[in-house]
Structure 1
Amino acid sequence: MTGAAPNAADQVSFERIQEAAALIKGAVLETPCLPAPRLSQLTGAEIYVKYENMQVTGSFKERGALVKLSSLSPDEKAGGVIAVSAGNHAQGVSYNAGRLGIPATIVMPVLTPFVKIAATRGYGAEVVLAGNTLAEAKAEADRLAKERGLVWVHPYDDADVINGQGTIAAEMLASQPDLDVLVVPIGGGGLIAGMATAAKAIKPSVEVIGVETALYPGMWGAFHGKEVRCEGATIAEGIAVRDIGDLTTAVVKASVDDILLVSETSIEQAINAYLTMQRTIAEGAGAAGLAGLLSDRERFAGKRTGLVLTGGNIDPRLLSKIVVRELARDGRLVSIRIDTPDRPGVLGEIATVIGDMQGNVVDVEHHRLFLNVPAKGATLDVTFEAFDRPHGERVVAALRDRGFVVRYLEIGERMD
Structure 2
Amino acid sequence: MTSGASWLAPTADRPVAARVALPGSKSMTNRALILAALADGPVTIERPLRSRDTDLMAAALRALGIGVAETSGGWAVTPAEPAGPARIDVGLAGTVMRFVPPVAALAAGTVEIDGDPRARERPMGPLIAALRALGADLDDGGRGLLPLTLRGRGGLAGGAVTIDASGSSQLVSGLLLAAPRFGKGVEVRHEGPPVPSAPHLEMTVAMLRAAGATVDTGPDLWRVAPGPVTARRWEIEPDLSNAAQFLGAALVTGGSVTVPGWPAATTQPGDRLRDLLAAMGAEVTSSPDGLTVRGTGTFTGLDADLHEVGELTPVLAALAALAGTPSRLTGIAHLRGHETDRLAALAAEINGLGGDVRELSDGLEIRPRPLRGGVFHTYDDHRMVMAAAVLGLAVPGVEVENPGTVGKTLPGFTGLWADLLAARPTGQG
Q: What's the TM-score, normalizing by structure 1?
A: 0.27
Looking at both structures, which has the greater relative contact order when contacts are Cα pairs under 8 Å and sequence separation is at least 6?
2
Q: Which has the larger share of helix? A: 1
> Which is greater in Rg?
1
Q: What's the TM-score, normalizing by structure 2?
A: 0.26
